Amino acid sequence: MAVATSQKQAVTNPSTLEHVGEVELSSREDVQREIVHAHDAFAKWRSTPFAERAAILRKTAELLRKFKAEIAATLTREQGKPVKEAVIEVERTADTFDLYGTDEIGDLLSSRAKSPGDYVPGKDSRIVKRPLGACAAIVPWNFPLTLMANKLVPALATGNTVVVKPAPTTPLAAQRCIELLYEAGLPAGVVGVVVGGADAGAALIEHPLIRKVSFTGSTATGKAIMALAAKGLKRLTLELGGNDAMIVCEDADIVAAARAAAVGRFFNAGQACIATKRIYVHRSKYDEFVERVSERAANLPVGDGFDPNVRMGPLHSQPQRESVEGFVRDAIERGAKTAAGGKRLDKSKGYFFEPTVLVNVPDNARLIREECFGPVLPVMAFDSIDEVFARANATVFGLGSSIWTNDAALQERAVRELDAGYTWINDIATDYDRLPFGGVKESGFGKERGTEVLGEYLELKSVVASAHG
């Protein structure tokens, strides 16, 4: 798993700007070597009985829980999130290892599908599920462990080998997780790690031995990856950006909706593809909602993730904070008003920004048209359901959505008409690992999580056997 190279990059705590470690950057030759190792390990791993693969996954989950405090602290230091959130991320990662190490998954992988050929006298037909080979998992910095597990664990469960590329600013917790995989008994070469920027990513994607690429990140980067993968007609899963709309209807529980909106936007400092990024509130409840969500934003404790009272950490980098400032500035220049926050927080040297609520944001503002990766919540009023559904869908994105109403017919209309891979009803930003996750439109394609993800790492072979020799 270790990558030998002469180039190193510092890993910095975004709360304090202190040096917390360093990572060796992978050259193109390093990337190629890890791919070859994964390719060479594939034959043995694919032939390993599922029960043995599953036991390794479950043992890894056990080790992740054993070292939870250590890994969470590493995650907070390199990513910035509050340690409480980091602990949740480690726990969810362990849960993913457990989930795909169950007998249920084994039964699904061994099931035999029938075809019409079964009814032809003298012939037998069957469908065989085959793993793909060496796969690439390209992971962003906002959830370095859970997003890695969403790709890595189903790939391993189905008999594939994997080369993981964590973000160069958050590699440490991910590397520790993979070390634990090997401690749990993973055979040599089954999982490799490469670290670097666009050059390392391109070397990984373009290599002819890579059969599948799974990527989570921005839509712009996803398009570039798709172009590279097209050269080799590689299988792709792209989980890209979002600009999720939350619709709060006239009959909604405004207290619960405001609470959920604050969690949905300010969790992980708003640095989540599935975060609540646009809120449309019926005009009759608009003022009350704005007052409640603004109060929550103004009172949200922000600071170093190791402070037990902190609920929101810093943005991950200086460019990230400058990007958020640009979104706020653009909205205000177009007529939006600040109801809470709106500027940098002077806390030590870190990249802190106030939890922000903006009102009366026009539809042509960048906050409405693009994805803002930070703690800025635009709240707009609406008058009719037809109007708000049209505004919610007037975006290139389609990841998540939610509607707050007790009207069952309206709930079902939202399920049918909102362009999104996920719709919550009277809930927000709650992921269920047993349901498939992924977007539509420019939020990507392919599914992660659930049992549906298994098909992303398998190819089907049809077999027909005749009784005549």
In a domain, 78, yes or no: yes
Show pLDDT as tens, one digit a residue, over the chain (469 residues). 444 445 899 999 999 999 999 999 999 999 999 999 999 999 999 999 999 999 999 999 999 999 999 999 999 999 999 999 999 999 999 999 999 999 999 999 986 655 554 566 777 888 899 999 999 999 999 999 999 999 999 999 999 999 999 999 999 999 999 999 999 999 999 999 999 999 999 999 999 999 999 999 999 999 999 999 999 999 999 999 999 999 999 999 999 999 999 999 999 999 999 999 999 999 999 999 999 999 999 999 999 999 999 999 999 999 999 999 999 999 999 999 999 999 999 876 899 999 999 999 999 999 999 999 999 999 999 999 999 999 999 999 999 999 999 999 999 999 999 999 999 999 986 666 789 999 999 999 999 999 999 999 999 999 888 876 5
- Looking at the structure of the chain, the number of domains it has is 2
Verify that 306 and 209 share a domain, yes or no: no
The answer to the question of residue 1 being in a domain is no
Q: Are 82 and 73 in contact (CB under 8 A)?
A: no
- Bridge partners of residue 192, in order along the sequence: 163
| 218 and 249 inside one domain | no
- The pLDDT score that the predictor gives to residue 4 is 43
What pLDDT sits at residue 2?
44
Range of the domain at 346: 244-432
Identify whether residues 248 and 233 lie together within a single domain.
no
Other CB atoms within 10 A of residue 444 CB: 28
Q: Is residue 2 part of a domain?
A: no
Burial 15-41 (b: 16+ CB within 10 A, else e): bbeeeebebbbbbbebbbbbbbbbbeb
Q: Classify residue 221: in a domain, yes or no.
A: yes
CA 235 vs CA 205, 212, 230, 302: distances in Å: 11, 5, 9, 41
Tell me: do 84 and 133 sit in the same domain: yes
Is residue 301 included in any domain, yes or no? yes
Residues 421 and 272 in one domain: yes
Q: Give the CATH number for residue 82.
A: 3.40.605.10
91-144 tens-digit pLDDT: 999 999 999 999 999 999 986 655 554 566 777 888 899 999 999 999 999 999
Instruction: Let me know whether 122 and 144 are in one domain.
Output: yes
CATH assignment at residue 333? 3.40.309.10
| Helix axes of 198-206 and 28-47: crossing angle, nearest 10 degrees | 40
Task: Verify that 399 and 449 share a domain, yes or no.
Answer: no
Residue type, 73: A
Amino acid present at 359 = V
Residue 225: CB partners within 8 Å, gap ≥ 6? Answer: 138, 201, 205, 213, 215, 236, 238
Q: Are residues 309 and 223 in the same domain?
A: no
pTM of the model: 0.95
Residue 243 · residue 418 · CB < 8 Å: no
- Same domain? For 283 and 234 the reply is no
Residue carrying the six token digits 């990766």? 373
Same domain, 186 and 249: no
Give the active site residues: 239, 273
Q: How far is CA 348 from the centre of its chain?
A: 30
- Distance (Å, whole) CA 287 – CA 336: 15
Q: Is residue 284 part of a domain?
A: yes
Residue 250 forms part of a structural domain: yes
pLDDT value at position 466?
86
Token digits for 292? 């409640």
Which candidate, 286, 244, 190, places its Cα nearest to that of 377? Answer: 244
The pair of structure tokens assigned to 342 is 């709106």
Same domain for 380 and 450?
no
Alpha-carbon dihedral angle through residues 77, 80, 81, 86, given to the nearest 10 degrees: -20
Cα end-to-end distance, the chain, whole Å? 48
**184 and 111 within one domain:** yes
